[in-house]
Structure 1
Amino acid sequence: IADEEQLLSIFVKKLFTNLQYSIVTDKLIERTVGCFSDLTHGYQSVRKLVKLDPIQYFINNHTQDLFPFLHPTSTMNHSHNSNLSLSSWSRLRTTFYSSVGRMLMYEFHYDDDDDERIEAFMTPFTNHCTRLVQIFKEFPDFSLLNPGQFSAMTQFNPKLASLDEIQSLIIGISRDLRGLCSSLVSKQAYTSFFDWLYPSYLPLFLKALYVFYDRKDVYNPLLKFFYELTSNRQERLIFDSTKPSAYLLFRETSNLLYIFQTKTLLHVNTTIPESDGDLFYKSKLKPIITSLKILQTCLM
């Protein structure tokens, strides 16, 4: 081994090998993602990492084909011998993309090439969201509905995928984007991300909440994603005065909270007993806390 860079490259290759071929070993995946996250904390560490060829290849090829644990169904099919819950397993995706986002931030040069760089990086997410757009194609846009039309909406019967498959897609993309968004702490990076997200894909999450209002495994990560999206980390939510982005984000967030109040809370209040402490917390108290945090960020 000639120098520190070569040693670090070997170490990173080993981490990626674990993520590529150890899908059945949940504990190894958990420790590998944790180690990768630790490596990406600190400017000097990230500066060294992004120079490595394996990292550059990874930034441009972070697909579920390369890393099977990112596949939407992997959350449902993880090892039964693991001590990890389904929630903990899918939460690894948030940690993973938070680490990736820190490296992507270092790649920002604050020039015209940044938009192209973000667009290329977001390609796997674009593919997933485009599929969801097709699935929800017949579902109306909530911004066009009045309260009467909203309450009269019929049950969603998808033709292109099962509800369980759609649920896995929504959980995965919510956790992935939440992790990525948490690392985009500059105004330019966040704006590029928001321009990608809205108007093409953000309404999907409102539709998903309406359909899966009674599934805590869906609405909890979805609400947490919106909390991250509305968090003003390092004053990143300073939009160009010529763009209505702040208003649009507030409108979509308000619609989300309205659906949560009129659908999810109504369902939970009538079906989940307080005597079932753990279920009551995860189904009602936890999302209410997240919703209040969203309100706080919107009003600050």
Structure 2
Amino acid sequence: MKCRTIFYTSLGRLFMIDSGEDEDKFEKFMQPITSSLDTLKNMLNNKSMFNEEETKKALIGISRDLRGLVYSFISRSNIMIFFNWIYPTYTPVFHAAIDLWFNDPQVTTPVLKLYAEFVHNRSQRLQFDISSPNGILLFRDASKLLVNYGTKILMIRDIPSDRLYAMKLKGISICFSILKLALSGSYVNFGVFELYGDTALKDALSTFIKLILSISITDILEYPKLSQSYYVLLECIAQDHMKFLANLEPTVFLYIISSISEGLNSLDNVCTSCCSALDHIVSYIFKEISKQNKKKSYEVNCLMELKPEIFQQMLSTIMNIIMFEDCRNQWSMSRPLLGLILLNEDYFNELRRNIISQQPIEKQTTMNRLFDYLMRDIERNLLAKNRDRFTQNVSTFRRELSDFQKGSVPCNNDMMNMMN
């Protein structure tokens, strides 16, 4: 069954060679799938015709076929023809499938993966005319599917641990991918949703929060596909929808911050997304605190007062990685570090004194000089020029520290334990 996706990808590419922009030829090309979908619609609408196993099998096959076709449609003209063909005539079929079989991953996985491909702005193919509402319609439809699936999957209780990923976490991971691809596709002006009272964006983001709160941080980090899709989505939300995160309940926001803190020690791609998300969050908090009128928002006050030590812990973690570990994503690590230092200046100075005091007396002057260089010419702001200068300082700090440590190896473990 899985080979059908590859087969239809090949068929789609062959079709595009000569007939990619011909709508009449497209209709003929899609006729077998069109007939199958029409039959499925009738079966779902007429319970007397309904054979569950046959319907499931047909739906799974069609979802895989369409996913292969959508993957192959890399030009704007191709995907526009496909969009007009499937929406709104046949998209209700997939929503009905989620309603009926939300607890069957054999059905939901192909449907969710189809939508993940559909909303993916691969090769900038999803470029709608300025007068077209199709970008908004596509997001609303994907949001509706995501919210429907998320709401129903949370109703399933007492899933055996050996079935947790297959029954729940895999589908949630794909939902995270759908939302991330839709949010970062650059084909929707998300400001219009709030402006016109449309809850599609808010509902999708709220469902994301409900889903992530139903998963332990241990499970997030245990499953690579889940952790990658979660942290990439979180990075996207922190970049473009930080106000939504700031307005969450403080305990919910703390959970998200805790997940970032745990992810800093993960694989490179996860760690990079964690650093980027943390950078956006810390930058937002710092800018709110630094406003000229000094009117700090209630949300920021709550965030900083609930558990300030978690930001201090992340500052220690990043410093520890930069100073003592094989840091292959040094640039990513340096971006949130400056904001963390500016938010926790007293703690950073204390940390600095403790690290220096761990050195032999004859080495303390050199270590103090290295920390001086780290903050050389750094101003108390997060402007691009200042951040770039700090990133350069981190690079020099790490290089000189590496040379310095070669003569101070016995002290490294003490310093690492102190920072941890």
Displacement after TM superposition at 1:245 (Å): 1.2
Displacement after TM superposition at 1:247 (Å): 1.2
Q: Distance in 2 between matches of 1:137 and 1:245?
A: 27
Residue deviations 1:75-133, cap 9 Å, x none? xxxxxxxxxxxxxxx111101101111111212364xxx10111010000110111122
Bigger drift between 172-181 and 279-288 goes to 279-288
Which amino acid in the other structure matches residue 173 of structure 2? I
Which amino acid in the other structure matches residue 132 of structure 1? L
Does 1:299 pair with 2:183? yes
Q: 1:166 — aligned with what?
A: 55
Residue deviations 1:232-288, cap 9 Å, x none? 011011112232211111111111111111112322xx04122x1xx2212112111
Where do residues 37-56 of structure 1 align in structure 2 (5 Å cutoff)? none
Given the alignment, which residue of 24, 28, 34 partners 1:116?
24
Q: Distance in 1 between matches of 2:49 and 2:158?
A: 30
- Secondary structure (helix, strand or coil) at the match of 1:242 reads coil
Given the alignment, which residue of 159, 168, 174 partners 1:272?
159
Q: 1:217 — aligned with what?
A: 106
- Secondary structure (helix, strand or coil) at the match of 1:266 reads coil
Q: Distance in 1 between matches of 2:133 and 2:177?
A: 23
Q: Distance in 2 between matches of 1:265 and 1:176?
A: 29
Which amino acid in the other structure matches residue 230 of structure 1? V
Where do residues 139-288 of structure 1 align in structure 2 (5 Å cutoff)? 158-267=47-156, 270-274=157-161, 276=162, 279-288=163-172
CA RMSD of aligned residues (A): 1.3
Structure 1's 120 and 264: CA in aligned 2 closer, same or farther, altered over 3 A?
same
Ranges of 4+ aligned residues in structure 1 off by more than 6 Å? none
Q: 2:10 — aligned with what?
A: 99
Residue deviations 1:145-187, cap 9 Å, x none? xxxxxxxxxxxxx221211111111101100000111000000
Given the alignment, which residue of 31, 34, 38 partners 1:130?
38
Q: Distance in 2 between matches of 1:177 and 1:109?
A: 16
**Identical-pair percentage:** 38
Which amino acid in the other structure matches residue 127 of structure 1? S
Query: Contact 1:203–1:252 (CA<8 Å) still a contact in 2?
Result: no
- The structure richer in helix per residue is 2
Which ranges in structure 1 are unaligned for 5 or more consecutive residues? 1-89, 139-157
Residue deviations 1:49-91, cap 9 Å, x none? xxxxxxxxxxxxxxxxxxxxxxxxxxxxxxxxxxxxxxxxx11
Displacement after TM superposition at 1:137 (Å): 2.9
Q: Distance in 1 between matches of 2:176 and 2:42?
A: 32
Where do residues 11-26 of structure 1 align in structure 2 (5 Å cutoff)? none
Q: 2:335 — aligned with what?
A: none
TM-score (norm 2): 0.43
Q: Distance in 1 between matches of 2:73 and 2:136?
A: 20
Does 1:289 pair with 2:176? no
Q: Distance in 2 between matches of 1:162 and 1:220?
A: 20
Query: Contact 2:8–2:65 (CA<8 Å) still a contact in 1?
Result: yes
Which amino acid in the other structure matches residue 296 of structure 1? K
Query: Contact 1:135–1:161 (CA<8 Å) still a contact in 2?
Result: yes
Query: Contact 1:108–1:189 (CA<8 Å) still a contact in 2?
Result: no
Bigger-Rg structure (1/2)? 2
Q: Distance in 2 between matches of 1:109 and 1:172?
A: 23
Query: Contact 1:231–1:297 (CA<8 Å) still a contact in 2?
Result: yes
Task: Report how many residues are paired.
Answer: 184
Q: Distance in 2 between matches of 1:271 and 1:180?
A: 37
Q: Distance in 1 between matches of 2:158 and 2:51?
A: 24
Q: Distance in 2 between matches of 1:205 and 1:225?
A: 10
Q: Distance in 1 between matches of 2:25 and 2:125?
A: 19
- Secondary structure (helix, strand or coil) at the match of 1:117 reads helix
